[in-house]
Every structure is written in structure tokens, then in C-alpha cells.
């Protein structure tokens, strides 16, 4: 090996901290702690055992587990064998899971006992799988287990703890493939490189001011962009991973107090769970400072205030699977600290500026020119830099479409504010064009969220003879709250241009994907039944 060059790979993080912090707790799960030395030992055994069953360079290993220690061990042990991690979303159904496992040609599958029923119906269809390894909590017995499968602990016992990790010959080699949720058509396999995983992990640590004293709670699924790279990042800094099979609000809060959790991540729904859990547990305020990175949707003023009063600082980030998770952060400027909470929340709701190591972020016209920084002109949010995917696995056409003209095209529409912050206005496919005017469904939704009776809202288009299309709001009211259609429409008209106000309000529960995203297309289909929606809509 060269004296002055090592390929960037997250493997280095674990090797270093097994040396630096051998006795320190790397992972906690249900009261059992694993030291950094044991973590490294187990990852090496896993790498060795995988090699032993013929897993080698660029082979794919699928992982279908909740946020348990075995998942973290896979995040290191699989690349140490030269192979590629394919962390699968366990909220998908059996057919969707089979599609992913087959599409990536996975040769082995590490599956948690809880999800065995998910693969049982499709066992006959998993074409390339040669070995199934079953992760089992102590004492758990399963009614069914795949033929020829092996227990994870037995598998590790057969591995060699002296096995050296295989460094990638090229740091741009693939370390993981993460499948998008695929709102249209089949999911796409987003390829991550060792180099970019390393850089984004370091970036998480810088953005969230983490240190070896940090204790990270796994509220974010590890299958989401490899836990947005915190699987690697927390290990890099020598922090402690607190694993979590399931989010039960009161239990989460109890765990946070017990383990002195300093950091966690999640969608706003996770923050609400923490607020609810604190209320249930009678906790007014965490005894220590906590920091949460929130993504998927902007945190509402109410959520921000609830978190602050609990001693939790909120960091709003935005990104996509294609950008290794967060690629922008709404950095809070020093002077914002003097703003009132409503104005602070309004600014924090923006997606912000490039993540520290993200390089470029642009809002571009279709012809590639940047939009003016006027907070008004709509363009496509585009990224370029080291934290952009390598491409879609076995899908050169989609890759070429997404990575063109030197930019990754996110499909999200936004504006650039005069202060350089971006703000999303819509997904390209969600934007409503009414009488030639763009209507951002997110803008209308955020306005409705400010109404005290509104708990949940989604705005989609419906066909209109005169305007082409017009907005309709689907609303869930808070328990015990009351508000009529006219009142809500008037509420929007008072606050936005009249053409942006919904023409109708439908009261119902919103359909969501397994990852918690509102399935707007289901609502849209309701509205457009029997009519062809415009292309690109």
C-alpha cells in the first residue's frame, strides 16, 4: 500500500476506533452494550464468514432488519468483504422486497426474525440468493425459518476475527445500493461510493457538532440512505449507537433520559412522537442538551417550540436518496436568535444552503440558467459534488436523465431567496398550473397548517374546464377541532393570492407510503379519475 494515499472508506472509522476506544460502548441494545473492540471483532467475523460462503468483490448482500446492532455490523462487515450493502425498507410488502433483492442480484440476505413473514411468501422467487442469515434476539423462537438458513450468531462464530477488511482498489467503488421508494414505477437502486459515504459521514458530524461523547438514538431507519450515513458517522467519531427496534413514544423518551442521548434524526412525525412521549412520561425538559436533525418536511413552528422547550435543538436538513440523505441544511444565522418564534420558524422551514461538504446547489431554469435570487422564480433544485450518487444500478437511462449537464436533477421545484437559501415549493410532478400560473402545493399546505384546527393536509390538482387545473385540499382535523370548507378556503384567500386558494376541501385521513410520505398520487387519481393528467403532472 502507498504511504501517502488510502482510498477513503468508512471501514477506516471502525478500525481506528477499535484501537482508540476498545473498551468504550459502541452500541447499546435492550440494555446490552457492545464495545468498539467487540464491534470490530464481529464485523471482521462477518466479513470472513461472508467470504467463506463465496461472497466477494461487488457481490450484493441484502439486509432486512430493524435498527438492531446486526445492521450496524453489516454496514461495516459487508464492505470489509469487498461486497455491497443493500439495506431494504422493511415497510415494503413481500413483492416489493423480492423485486429489490432480485434486481440487485443479492447473493446473501441477512434478515431479522421479525421480518421472516415478509420473505416467506416470496422465498421461491429470490433467484440469486445463496444464503440466508437469520438475526434473532436472545430467546426468540420463530415458527418458520428458511431451509438451509443459518443463525447470525452461528454465522459469526464461524468467521475469523483476524480477517482484514478489503480496502476498495478505487474509492469510487460501490459500497451500498439504496432503493428509492419509487412513487412512479419500480424503485431505482441508488449507488453509493466508499468515498462519498466517508465524506458525508464526516459532514454529518460537523453539521451536528458531534464528539466522542455523543450518544445517538436510532429513530431514523438504518435502511434510509444507510441511516443518512450516521451508521458510519457515529462510528467515526467514537460515539455510542443506541439501537431501537420500534418507536414507542414513552419508551423512546425514557431511553433518551437513561442513555443520555444527545442526537437523533427523523421526519417531523418522530419529533411529535418525542413530544408526545415526554408528555406521557411527565418530562418537562431533558436534563441535557439534545440535537435533532429533521428532514422529509419542514418542522412546523409548533414542533420547533415543543422541541426547544424540551431542550432539543432542531436542525432542518433536506436531501434525497440520490444525495446520500441530507445535502442542504438550514443553517441558523446568529442574528436569527433574536427573532420571534413565528419568524424563526418561517426561516427555519426553508431547506437552506449546501451541507458543509456538499459543494454546489443550484435552482435552475429548464435551460440550465440559474434563477434569480428573488425568492419567487421557480426552478429545479439541482446538486453537484462528491455527495451525489454514482448512478442508478442497471439503469443507464434513468442515470443519464438524472445526471445531465453536470448536475443532479432532483425533480424538486424551489426558489432561491436573496440570502442564498433555497426553499422547496413542490415536486415537479405535484406543481399545479392553473390558468398558466404555478401554484406550489407546499405553500398552500403550509398556509393551511397555520390554521389551529388543521392537523394534516395535502393539496393536489383537479381538472377544471376553465383553468385547466385548480387546487383541492385534503384535510384531517385535530381531534375535537372544527372547521368547515368555506372557513378554510377563506383562511387561505386572506393570506395568499386568491388563485392559490383551494376550490374545494375534502375531509379525510391521508394515504401515506411506508416511509411516511403522503401519497399525493392516490389523491390525484381520485380527482382525475377517467381523465388523462397532463404529462409531467
CA distance 408 to 413: 13
* H-run or E-run covering 327: strand 325-329
Q: How far is the CB of 210 from its own copies (least distance, A)?
A: 8
What is the DSSP-derived secondary structure letter of residue 501?
S
CA distance 242 to 29: 6
Q: How far is the CB of 390 from its own copies (least distance, A)?
A: 6
Q: Which is nearer to its own copies, 250 or 260 (CB)?
A: 260
Q: How far is the CB of 506 from its own copies (least distance, A)?
A: 40
Q: Which is nearer to its own copies, 407 or 528 (CB)?
A: 407
Q: How far is the CB of 434 from its own copies (least distance, A)?
A: 30
Q: What value, to the nearest 5°, has the Cα angle with vertex 431 and ends 429 and 436?
A: 125
Q: Which is nearer to its own copies, 384 or 503 (CB)?
A: 384
- CB contact at 8 A, 59 and 90: no
Total Cβ atoms within 10 A of residue 251: 14
Q: How far is the CB of 277 from its own copies (least distance, A)?
A: 28
Q: How far is the CB of 196 from its own copies (least distance, A)?
A: 8
What is the grid cell recorded at 283?
418530562
Q: How far is the CB of 361 from its own copies (least distance, A)?
A: 9
What is the grid cell recorded at 309?
422547550
Q: Which is nearer to its own copies, 399 or 446 (CB)?
A: 399
- CB contact at 8 A, 98 and 276: no
**Residues binding its own copies (CB under 8 A):** 1-6, 8, 12, 16, 19-24, 172, 196, 202, 205-206, 209, 211-213, 236-238, 331, 333-334, 353-354, 356-357, 359-360, 383-386, 388-391, 403-404, 406-408, 419-420
Q: Which is nearer to its own copies, 372 or 511 (CB)?
A: 372
Q: Which is nearer to its own copies, 334 or 340 (CB)?
A: 334
CA distance 313 to 193: 31
Distances (CA, A) of 61 to 46, 53, 179: 12, 12, 13
CA distance 114 to 105: 23
Q: Which is nearer to its own copies, 57 or 206 (CB)?
A: 206
Q: Which is nearer to its own copies, 198 or 228 (CB)?
A: 198
Q: How far is the CB of 327 from its own copies (least distance, A)?
A: 12
Q: How far is the CB of 331 from its own copies (least distance, A)?
A: 6
Q: Which is nearer to its own copies, 365 or 404 (CB)?
A: 404
- CB contact at 8 A, 445 and 401: no
Q: How far is the CB of 192 from its own copies (least distance, A)?
A: 11
What is the grid cell recorded at 111?
434478515
DSSP string, 379-427: EEEEEESTTS--EETT-HHHHHHHEETTEEEEEEEEEE-TTS-EEEEEE
Query: 235 — phi, psi (to 5°)?
Result: -70, -40
CA 211 from chain centre, in angstroms, equals 22
Q: How far is the CB of 40 from its own copies (least distance, A)?
A: 12
Judged by DSSP in three states, 342 sits in: helix
β-strand pairing of 174-179 with 189-193:
antiparallel
Q: Which is nearer to its own copies, 58 or 419 (CB)?
A: 419
- CB contact at 8 A, 25 and 38: no
Instruction: Report the number of secondary-structure helices (H) and strands (E) in the chain.
Output: 17, 27
Q: Which is nearer to its own copies, 304 or 388 (CB)?
A: 388
Cell 431514523 sits on residue: 220
Amino acid at each position: 500500500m502507498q504511504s501517502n494515499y488510502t482510498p477513503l472508506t468508512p471501514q477506516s472509522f471502525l478500525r481506528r476506533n477499535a484501537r482508540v476506544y476498545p473498551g468504550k460502548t459502541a452500541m447499546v441494545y435492550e440494555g446490552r452494550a457492545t464495545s468498539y473492540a467487540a464491534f470490530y471483532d464481529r464485523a471482521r467475523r462477518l466479513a470472513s464468514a461472508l467470504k467463506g460462503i463465496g461472497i466477494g468483490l461487488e457481490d450484493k448482500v441484502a439486509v432486512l432488519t430493524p435498527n438492531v446492532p446486526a445492521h450496524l455490523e453489516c454496514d461495516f462487515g459487508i464492505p470489509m468483504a469487498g461486497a455491497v450493502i443493500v439495506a431494504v425498507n422493511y415497510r415494503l410488502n413481500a413483492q416489493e422486497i423480492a423485486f429489490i433483492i432480485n434486481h440487485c442480484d443479492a447473493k446473501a440476505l441477512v434478515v431479522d426474525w421479525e421480518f421472516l413473514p415478509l420473505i416467506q411468501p416470496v422465498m421461491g422467487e429470490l433467484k440469486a440468493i445463496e444464503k440466508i442469515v437469520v438475526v434473532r434476539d436472545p430467546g426468540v423462537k420463530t415458527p418458520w425459518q428458511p431451509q438451509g438458513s443459518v443463525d447470525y450468531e452461528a454465522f459469526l462464530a464461524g468467521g475469523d476475527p483476524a480477517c482484514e477488511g478489503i480496502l476498495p482498489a478505487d474509492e469510487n467503488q460501490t459500497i451500498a445500493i439504496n432503493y428509492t421508494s419509487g412513487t412512479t414505477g419500480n424503485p431505482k437502486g441508488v449507488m453509493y461510493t466508499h468515498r462519498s459515504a466517508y465524506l458525508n459521514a464526516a459532514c454529518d458530524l460537523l453539521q451536528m457538532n458531534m464528539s466522542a461523547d455523543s450518544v445517538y438514538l436510532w429513530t431514523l431507519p438504518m435502511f434510509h440512505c444507510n441511516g443518512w450515513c450516521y451508521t458510519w458517522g457515529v462510528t467515526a467519531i467514537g460515539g455510542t449507537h443506541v439501537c431501537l427496534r420500534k418507536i414507542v413514544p414513552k419508551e423512546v423518551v425514557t431511553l433518551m433520559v437513561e442513555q443520555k442521548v444527545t442526537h437523533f434524526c427523523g421526519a417531523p412525525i418522530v419529533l411529535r412522537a418525542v413530544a408526545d412521549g415526554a408528555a406521557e412520561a411527565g418530562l418537562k425538559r431533558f436534563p441535557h442538551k439534545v440535537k435533532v436533525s429533521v428532514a422529509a418536511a419542514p418542522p412546523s413552528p409548533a414542533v420547533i417550540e415543543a422541541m426547544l422547550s424540551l431542550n432539543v435543538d432542531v436542525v432542518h436538513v433536506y436531501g434525497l436518496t440520490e444525495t446520500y440523505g441530507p445535502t442542504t441544511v438550514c443553517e441558523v444565522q446568529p442574528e436569527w436568535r433574536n427573532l420571534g418564534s413565528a419568524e424563526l420558524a418561517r426561516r427555519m422551514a426553508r431547506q437552506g444552503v449546501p451541507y458543509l461538504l456538499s459543494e454546489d446547489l443550484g435552482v435552475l431554469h429548464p435551460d440550465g440558467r440559474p434563477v434569480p435570487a428573488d425568492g419567487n422564480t421557480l426552478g429545479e433544485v439541482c446538486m453537484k459534488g462528491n455527495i451525489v450518487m454514482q448512478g442508478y444500478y442497471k439503469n443507464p437511462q434513468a442515470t443519464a436523465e438524472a445526471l445531465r449537464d453536470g448536475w443532479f436533477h432532483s425533480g424538486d421545484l424551489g426558489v432561491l431567496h436573496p440570502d442564498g437559501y433555497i426553499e422547496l415549493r413542490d415536486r415537479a410532478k405535484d406543481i399545479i398550473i392553473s390558468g398558466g400560473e404555478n401554484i406550489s402545493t407546499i405553500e398552500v399546505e403550509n398556509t393551511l397548517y397555520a390554521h389551529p384546527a388543521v392537523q394534516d393536509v395535502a393539496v393536489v390538482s383537479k381538472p377544471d374546464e376553465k383553468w385547466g387545473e385548480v387546487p383541492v385540499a385534503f384535510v384531517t382535523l385535530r381531534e375535537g377541532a372544527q372547521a368547515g370548507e368555506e372557513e378554510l378556503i377563506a383562511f387561505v384567500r386572506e393570506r395568499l393570492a386568491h388563485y392559490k386558494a383551494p376550490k374545494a376541501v375534502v375531509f379525510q385521513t391521508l394515504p401515506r407510503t411506508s416511509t411516511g410520505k403522503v401519497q399525493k398520487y392516490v389523491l390525484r387519481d381520485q380527482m382525475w379519475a377517467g381523465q388523462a393528467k397532463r404529462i409531467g403532472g
